[in-house]
Amino acid sequence: MKGIRVRLEQDLKAAAARLRRMDGNVALEEIPGVIGDNSPFADEVDTIQLNEHREIGFATRELLVDRVHRLKTALERLREGQYGTCVECGETIAPARLRVMPEVETCVRCQDRLERYGRQLQTVEAAFGVEDED
Ligand SMILES: [Zn+2]
């Protein structure tokens, strides 16, 4: 389990660096023609492209923030000696699973159960959420 800390720290550093670059608005400068083009048609096209680009950027950013958060939690759990133990059932998480996703907090069985529970909730909400009043 010794290489895990290095792996987690590297992943955390890489994700944080990407996030910083995004926050620095470098993405805007990467689009050709946005700066220094005065033709109105070009502006219109650029605005559309820019908006699309931004939406993709926001989605990616959310994923990155999420990942940074999970990696930090994993490092904390490693310090506390909790790492590699499922937060749901307390069983040991399979090393193969940790190699693929070092930031996971649950074993395969609990992950599966949680996902199914989430889907059930959605189904219940869909069935009962529509007709509450009247
Ligand atoms: Zn579990």
DSSP codes of every residue in 64-118: HHHHHHHHHHHHHHHHTT-TTB-TTT-PBPPHHHHHH-TT--S-HHHHHHHHHHH
Range of the domain at 110: 86-134
**Sites in the chain below the pLDDT cut of 50:** 26-31, 34-36, 132
Residue 73, pLDDT score: 96
Q: Which two tokens stand for residue 103?
A: 């930031």
Domain count, the chain: 2
Q: Are residues 73 and 119 both part of a single domain? A: no
Query: How many whole angstroms from its chain centre is CA 28?
Result: 22
Q: Are residues 79 and 14 both part of a single domain? A: yes
Distance from the CA of 114 to the center of ligand 1, in angstroms? 10
Q: Are residues 116 and 130 both part of a single domain? A: yes
Distance from the CA of 122 to the center of ligand 1, in angstroms? 22
Q: Are residues 32 and 94 both part of a single domain? A: no
Distance from the CA of 23 to the center of ligand 1, in angstroms? 36
Q: Are residues 125 and 59 both part of a single domain? A: no
Distance from the CA of 107 to the center of ligand 1, in angstroms? 4
pLDDT per residue over 80-92, tens digit each?
999 999 999 999 9
Give the CA radius of gyration of the chain: 22
